[in-house]
Structure 1
């Protein structure tokens, strides 16, 4: 209990709105009452204004550098020629003000999955940059990984229909 209290105090000292010990795993719903109350209070509190780490008008390349240095602890960022060409193309196409959603290994702040945790002073290598225009963000790809598509909030299949009188499929063109 002393350890849990120490963690709770540290969370509060670091600026957490609330920090509660939750024992639902042992006590069921009764063990989560304090957590539920903290969530209700957080929902009722005034919402702070969301601020990006960078202004939307910052060039894409600088947005990536800002995230890498200020959040991940990188010393530098390098880009493949293909990544730089994509950045130029997306900027020219009017996507320069979109936010950035980094794609990299989940094991490290670097793009090296063997450098576990939060290394510092590394070079973050951006090998590719994609635009998820429907979802509304730019995706710098750091390292090798399987990518998921960035989908819009309303999928296109909602616009597809069948005219039962003619058998014609609507909404595909």
Structure 2
């Protein structure tokens, strides 16, 4: 289940971000997760399978970053800049469930994936997202993807 975050959840957002950042560092990843201070942009993810415990967070915004706007023929409704499942609950299929819940919102979405992260790129492709373009930024290169809409229009 997805629900909007509120300021009351800031400490939980910070804890999930910190645990995930530590897990990424231990695995040798150079990825740096964004801050979670803008709680209004976050959704909380829980599952009744785990007693409705908070399992993950995602940052979803109607603001499409300037560097990616020219990459789309039609402007996406939402930009997914972060999707995090707490490390204790990873590899249980919860990320897929969370993505399905996001896709059920019926909005055209965009996200980006680091070029070096082939595993994550393939994961998104398995969920119906498709590659759009590679964008070079000042210090990094990202691959842009957006969901495959199966002929559905998003107005």
Query: Normalising by the residue count of structure 2, what TM-score does the alignment of the two structures yield?
Result: 0.28
Q: Which has the larger Rg?
A: 1
Going by fraction, where is strand more abundant, 1 or 2? 2
Query: Normalising by the residue count of structure 1, what TM-score does the alignment of the two structures yield?
Result: 0.26
RCO higher in 1 or 2 (8 Å CA, sep ≥ 6)? Answer: 2
